[in-house]
């Protein structure tokens, strides 16, 4: 039996590539998957395939392409430090340009049928939020996106529903930051903020010591319901 998915790297712009995963049906709503600080590594590619199996056409852009094309990093020690350095070196306007280019490239693909959303983890959670604010996606899901509370001035520009997932114990994102996000999106139709008691930053990544299966499963189910309603239903 052949594998139900087709996957490959594609060019988004000269030198800028992304990992594409197509659903078994060959087409579906688009989903831009934004990486953690560890690159489009084995885990992120597996997440792309996970959402492709759920029916989405998924593109995971290599956001470190200018500094370290296709870098794949581990989660501890020097490799984690390198990921942080790569994140720190990102230039804000270039990041926004790359987000816009990724969304546009996905929408232009024939397998991308209908609407397109964004999802991301850690660094990628912030990028998914920025995609909602600046790139015209139809929905966004942000997992433990550090720094979002510092960019809530962009919330007024967001016209799509946004779903936020936060760990109950996150040394990078204090409860006060989560509360700021909650207050900024209170009353917005379709937007949600979820906090997972007993979990830590990175709880969705099964390759990390902080992986928390109960939280990851619940968050994935909520993400699927949210994205199906926002991207798969007519209207």
- What are the catalytic residues? 122, 170, 201
Cβ partners under 8 Å of residue 67, min gap 6 = 86, 89
> 193: which 2 tokens?
């903020």
If you write DSSP's letter for every residue of 189-230 in order, what string do you get? TT-EEEEEEEEETTTT-TTSTT--HHHHHHHHHHHHHHHIII
- In angstroms, the Cα distances linking 124 to 1, 26, 109, 134, 198 are 34, 26, 22, 15, 22
Residue 193 CB neighbours (<10 A): 18
- Sign (positive/negative) of CA torsion 163, 167, 168, 170? negative
Straight-line distance from the first to the last Cα atom of the chain, in angstroms, rounded to the nearest whole number: 37
Token pair 């499963």 in the structure block, residue:
217
Residue 101 CB neighbours (<10 A): 16
Token pair 């942080």 in the structure block, residue:
84
């Amino acid at each position: 039996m052949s594998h139900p998915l087709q996957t490959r790297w594609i060019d988004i712009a000269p030198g800028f590539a992304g990992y594409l995963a197509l659903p078994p049906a060959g087409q579906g709503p688009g989903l831009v998957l934004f990486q953690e600080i560890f690159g489009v590594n084995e885990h992120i590619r597996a997440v792309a395939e996970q959402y492709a199996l759920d029916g989405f056409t998924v593109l995971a852009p290599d956001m470190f392409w200018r500094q370290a094309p296709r870098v794949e990093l581990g989660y501890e020690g020097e490799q984690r430090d390198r990921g942080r350095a790569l994140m720190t070196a990102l230039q804000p306007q270039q990041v926004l340009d790359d987000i816009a280019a990724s969304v546009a490239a996905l929408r232009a693909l024939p397998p991308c049928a209908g609407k397109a959303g964004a999802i991301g983890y850690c660094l990628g959670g912030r990028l998914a939020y920025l995609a909602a604010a600046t790139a015209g996606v139809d929905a966004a899901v942000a997992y433990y996106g550090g720094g979002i509370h510092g960019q809530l001035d962009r919330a007024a520009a967001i016209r799509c529903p946004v779903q936020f997932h936060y760990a109950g114990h996150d040394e990078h994102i204090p409860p006060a930051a989560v509360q700021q996000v909650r207050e900024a999106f209170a009353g917005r139709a379709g937007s949600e903020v979820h906090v997972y008691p007993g979990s830590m930053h990175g709880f969705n990544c099964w390759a990390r010591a902080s992986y928390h299966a109960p939280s990851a499963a619940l968050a994935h189910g909520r993400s699927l319901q949210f994205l199906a309603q926002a991207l798969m239903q007519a209207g």
